[in-house]
Amino acid sequence: MSEIVLSLGPDPSKDLRAATNSPAGLTNLGATCYANSILQCLYMNKPFREGVFSVEPNVLKEQPVLDQLARLFAQLHGSKKAFVDSAPFIKTLELDNGVQQDSHEFLTLLFSLLERCLSCSNVTKARTIVQDLFRGSVSHVTTCLKCGKDSEASLKMEDFYELELNVKGLKSLDGSLDDYLSVEELRGDNRYYCESCATRVDATRSIKLRSLPAVLNFQLKRCVFLPKTTTKKKITSAFAFPGELDMGHRLSEHSQSELIYDLSAVLIHKGSAVNSGHYIAHIKDENTRQWWEFDDEHVSNLGVHPFGEGVSNCAAKSVQTEPVIHPSGSESVDAVAMGNHAGASQSKSSDSDIVDSVQTFSSSDAYMLMYILRHSNNGGEKAQIESGGINMENASCVDPQNGVSLPPYLCEEIKQLNSSYISDCEEYKAKKEFESNRITERRQEVRFIISEAPVQSLGELYFWISTDWLRHWADNVNPLIIDNHPIQCLHGKVPVSKVGNMKRLSAKAWTLLFSKYEGGPALAKDYYCTDCLFEVARSMVSADSYRDRRTTMKDLADAALAGKCLDGPLYYVSKTWLHQWIRRKNIDSPCEADAEPTASIRCPHGELKPEQAPGAKRVLVPESLWLFFYDTANDVKPDDPLVFSTFPLDSAPCAQCSAELTNEACSEDNRREIKLKQRQNHEKLASGKSIALFPLQRYYLLPTSWLSKWKTYVTASGKNASSAEPETLCNIIDVLKCEKHSGLLERPPGLIYKRNMIFQKSPNTDGLTIVTENDWKLFCEDWGGTVEKGISAEIEVSNCVGDESFLVSPEIPISEECMNAHDEANGEAESKRLVVKTSPEVCEDCIGERESCELMRKLNYCNEDICVCFVRGKEPPRSILEASGNIFEPDRRTSKRSKKTTFGNSINLNVSGSTSIYQLKMMIWESFGVFYCFPSPP
């Protein structure tokens, strides 16, 4: 049942919006939570939503971003689905779904784009809705402390759409605002040039709020730059903010009307690091006064508090309820500018002050705060900024929400989308009911057939049916036709050997099945096959006879292997074959392995192999056992006249094979002597011991790969004695020299001091190895080389800066004490450098050209597969480190105490030399289904 339902696809009704007054979510396309949170904040702002809906259709056609925003808002407004697809809007903005951005930067860029798009509208309030709702103004005031005048630049007003407040070292919004509006003193080298005083004077500088918008956004600067590490860190300290904020006393020119703001949205960045996290938004519905949590597709009701009822989470909680004083009279604006404003915890107020009770909230993840201006009529009349010149049409085919109706062109589109969605839900429901009914009918049919299937008496007519088909019929809603062919024998009847693959059905049950599903053939009770029955009986008798004979012969075979009872005519068989024949158990009839008891002792010429030949071990068996083997082989391969050869006791080994074996043995003895001589001549090279080197002594260079082959050859023994010989030295040496300059195409190995001696570093497989002059001459004699054509080398010890070479006698090893003494005698502290001089000299031009070509070949690859493994744990598994051995450092230390890592799945990715690291990262994320958010710092 569950598999059939799953085949119908996901149930669309599960995406149905819970209620008409419940907000809808937005789909996360990978890393678009930052955009979803901002879009939800804008949509839940009723005046802004009305402004977008009031834009003319012809303007929307010319502005695709504005058009998609209006359609997105319309779906959030009237769609019956619990979440809306944000892909069309994100695609129009050309945003990368896999790259997380900062929500503050996104909001700033979006406002700028919307202002440009809305400027094309003829509807007054729609054209300036962004400026009317979100734009305020500030000025940077510089005041001369000598004459008391403000600078001319102080009169310049600057627009803002959000106030960026410091969080580091501050605990509340009040403190951050005081810090933002605080006065900076300009003294000493930082003094200000006053035009009125015509000299540099002490002054003060501060920010003054000139006008405030209807929607006041506070951007909390939680990301700070650390100069020492050149990284950014998120400040996760708790930050308090009130549910109600009085901004009237913070304006530079006191407003006659109250400027009380109510908290309407909190944008939250989850996560303790700058480079990882997730954005969600807590937003208040201004009509119902309910708070909602918007987490992409998921929307949850929080009640009347921004962080839910009874929140115990330390990251976000209600702190306390405090009395807040709303002054009715005028206060000194200069006191605010100078940072002397008394906070909300003031204990004294004038008689005309109004004391309210305001809740304060605290969060360690709050990233942006949104406050909305409270109107004095408390919603009795719409403020001018809400309605203005916007004339919304009442002809709406979608129920209004929060007093907002959709324009007709969007209403019709939403109506079609809802109709299509309801149709999909009903279609899915109908399919599910249809399949459920079919399954119920099938279950009833299966129960009925099973109840009628038993045969009541032996004389009653019955039919045979395939068990596999019955199982298929019972498990599938649409079974295939009856197929009884698998239970038929070659004679078209029912064999006794397949009785376990069939079931017996009554005539009534068979008739019901056959009439509905057809097929067949019908196999009645008298359709049993007597021919197959007799064949089975004969096989059983034959098997019993074979087992008895084989048991007797096995005793003779054991005696033959033990060298006993060897009377009468004797015959050779393979000793290995006879051991295997004895070990075979539960044999009812001869098998293929019984056909060739003499195959391994027969030479290519058809005669008996010499016993010294590989695999030619044999044993003598008596004539009775031999005749049993012969009869068995004829039963297995009756048409093969050369089933095996017969070798009586007096059979002579093949003369030709014996001669070849003797010659090969002589050649092997010669090779063994030659290898022994070479191992003795080159004892240190053969054993892999390091050779001490001395300056002013001639050495020769040989390819390390050739030496490895030579060492394998001379040390091979037993089965590996026939290893391939190394190439001749003439060819090897010629390859090491460039044709153009006749220089050396490989650099000599590096040298190190070890135990007061000079040794060469372990050479690479493709590098060169230093050998002594004596070794070189002996190699030339044995492997076709010419002494004069060799690559000679000498070792020199010189200063790094080098006035003169410091040369040491070849008989005396160089010690560090000797070198230090020489340095002190010359009053120098330079270290010595070991140099290998070669003849011919190293051809750096050809080597550089070859390395460049090799590098280009490695970089210019195309359509190559790489394996990416998903590893959980502190250290990657050893198998991965070994597979990537040329990538990781050879001396890389790994923790022996690290926890055991576990392998996840692995994938192969097709990459080219032009694939960037960023593209590879996106490919890996997409392949492993990684859609976590990584915010960029503000």
- Write out the two tokens for 914: 């032009």
Location of structure tokens 């001749």 = 728
- Using alpha carbons, select from 235, 240, 220, 238 the residue that is nearest to residue 173: 240
- DSSP of 817-837, one letter per residue? HHHHHHHHHTT--PPEEEEEE
Strands 215-221 and 163-166, by their bridges, are parallel
Helix residue ranges per DSSP H, 278-405: 333-337
Q: How far apart are CA 162 and CA 179, in angstroms?
A: 16
Cβ atoms of residues 279 and 36 within 8 Å:
yes
- Using alpha carbons, select from 762, 703, 735, 741 the residue that is nearest to residue 844: 741
Residue 167 DSSP one-character state:
-
Task: Enumerate residues 6+ apart whose C-beta is below 8 A from 871.
Answer: 877, 880, 901, 902, 903, 904
Location of structure tokens 């089965």 = 719
Radius of gyration of the chain (CA): 47
Amino acid identity of residue 172, one-letter, is S
Q: Which of 33, 194, 603, 657 is catalytic?
A: 33
- Burial of 175-186, coded b for 16+ CB within 10 Å and e otherwise, reads bbbbebbeeeeb
Q: How far apart are CA 71 and CA 917, in angstroms?
A: 36
33 is catalytic: yes
Strands 199-201 and 203-211, by their bridges, are unpaired
Q: Check the CA dihedral 724-725-730-733 and report its sign.
A: positive
Residue 131 belongs to what H/E stretch?
helix 129-134
Cβ atoms of residues 592 and 584 within 8 Å:
no
Residue 813 CA: distances (Å) to CA of 133, 476, 493, 683:
88, 88, 96, 21
- Write out the two tokens for 104: 């503050």
The three-state secondary structure class of 491 is: coil
- Using alpha carbons, select from 601, 607, 612, 725 the residue that is nearest to residue 663: 612
Q: How far apart are CA 509 and CA 522, in angstroms?
A: 13
Question: Exposed/middle/buried for 608, CB within 10 Å: 0-12, 13-18, 19+?
Answer: buried
Helix residue ranges per DSSP H, 408-529: 408-452, 467-475, 507-517
Residue 372 DSSP one-character state:
E
Strands 699-703 and 792-799, by their bridges, are antiparallel
Cβ atoms of residues 796 and 695 within 8 Å:
yes
Q: How far apart are CA 644 and CA 674, in angstroms?
A: 42
SS3 content of the chain, % helix, strand, coil (to 5): 40, 25, 40
Q: How far apart are CA 185 and CA 204, in angstroms?
A: 5
Q: Where are the beta strands (DSSP E) in 542-684?
A: 570-574, 618-622
Instruction: Return the bridge partners of 291, or none.
Output: 284, 303
Cβ atoms of residues 301 and 416 within 8 Å:
no
Q: What angle, 0 to 180 degrees and rounded to 10, lies between the N-to-C axes of helices 655-681 and 773-783? A: 160
Q: Which of 104, 249, 269, 278 is catalytic?
A: 278
- Using alpha carbons, select from 427, 403, 402, 401 the residue that is nearest to residue 414: 401
Q: How far apart are CA 30 and CA 100, in angstroms?
A: 9
Instruction: Return the bridge partners of 270, or none.
Output: 278
77 is catalytic: no
Residue 259 DSSP one-character state:
-
The length of the chain is 938
Residues with catalytic roles: 33, 278
